[in-house]
Structure 1
């Protein structure tokens, strides 16, 4: 029995929402919603489609949010459409396992988005609220990118992380949890890096997270607060 095909987001509606509430504010809201809702909807096929749609919204809204160089923009669209096609094939049961290919596309897109958002932040002369949301959005993208890096490490070297669910498979939620715990240096200790490679990634992510908050977001918020109210 074929599963219900995944509905694609309305691109024109995404563009309209971007214009009303800001490109990066919209992308940040979608990403937070996806992270918050995904654990509660897993196990229910119909409801889990919501998280798939949210993930596609991250892709398509991310393409609109990081419009810059023509080549990067086209690459972003190609990755987004390829990911959407893989999700449809996966949910329809036409391919046995597409997890690693999906994760590779997502990781490439996250790195592309991070690169373009950082360039846009550096190019802006005025600090606006949407620019602050761009920094917050890139922080979330950073955590998701590291999550996919841990996924591939565990895929290539099983047992690199201790404390994962026994049948984690292609599920990214465990790696997302560990990534953000490491990025924010909360360090609960329920999932631990046990190989040299995993520990090296954990160190790099923790340092990256702290420097990001201290240098980039701190500078943007300070500049925004210091601007005259009428210019914000």
Structure 2
């Protein structure tokens, strides 16, 4: 890669950090099924999670959010994840996932504030809309993971109904709820799980109603011809 190409990539990254976060998260959807089945895959899963956390921190640093809050969530989460993997302490995963969920919620909130503060739609805001959706999906999936570890039997499914749900199943449930489709074979059973599911359903409806509809409205206003142009 020559110098000009590297500079172009650096400029693109500075202009569209949300695009990189969105691409990495969408790539994770394709990679997670492969990474869940083997020990090496689970190690790669942890490394991939750290990459997403780093990108989330980068996005927060570019926004008007309070950076120390994001760092205070990300650093302990990485330390707990590494400790859980190295020392094989499952309990540490609960707190790691709890902190990761908090970081994704905070990052999603900072991106929503970033999109709402402007009165014009830029390409980076469109990428931010997609990245925010995936951040919310990840945040609730981590919340579901914590819920089923604190309250075993929180979720059931058509396949192996008595077993704990895998990460891919919880992420699939989260995307189904957030999008309003609801097409999932994973079902909340305990009241705590159902409460989280209802919160995500509400978040999905409000995200479409407030954020996405506002971006669409601003886009229409930008391309609508002035009255003089219609004469």
Q: Deviations over 1:63-101 (max 9, x none)?
A: 11122457x212212322222222322232264541111
Structure 1 unaligned regions, length at least 5? 1-14
Paired with 1:128 and 1:91, the residues of 2 have a C-alpha distance of 41
User: 24, 29, 43: which one pairs with 1:30?
Assistant: 24
The verdict on how the C-alpha distance between 1:196 and 1:140 changes in structure 2, with shifts beyond 3 A counting, is same
Equivalence for 1:12: none
Equivalence for 1:204: 199
Q: Provide TM-score, normalisation by structure 1.
A: 0.78
Q: Provide TM-score, normalisation by structure 2.
A: 0.78
Paired with 1:202 and 1:94, the residues of 2 have a C-alpha distance of 30
User: 57, 61, 67: which one pairs with 1:73?
Assistant: 67
Paired with 1:203 and 1:95, the residues of 2 have a C-alpha distance of 31
Say which is worse superposed, 177-186 or 157-166, in terms of deviation.
Answer: 157-166
Q: Deviations over 1:34-89 (max 9, x none)?
A: 1221112222333444332321121111111122457x212212322222222322
Q: 1:143–1:179: 8 Å Cα contact kept in structure 2?
A: yes
1:175 aligns with 2:173: no
More relative contact order, 1 or 2 (CA 8 Å, 6+ apart): 1
Structure 2 unaligned regions, length at least 5? 1-8, 224-231
Equivalence for 1:4: none
CA-based RMSD: 2.9
User: 96, 108, 113: which one pairs with 1:102?
Assistant: 96
TM alignment of 1:1-232, pairs within 5 A: 16=10, 19=13, 22-67=16-61, 68=63, 72-93=66-87, 95=89, 97-163=91-157, 165=160, 166-168=162-164, 171-224=166-219, 226-227=221-222
Paired with 2:10 and 2:16, the residues of 1 have a C-alpha distance of 10
Paired with 1:208 and 1:88, the residues of 2 have a C-alpha distance of 31
Q: Report the Cα offset of residue 131 of structure 1.
A: 0.6
Say which is worse superposed, 59-68 or 40-49, in terms of deviation.
Answer: 40-49
Equivalence for 1:3: none
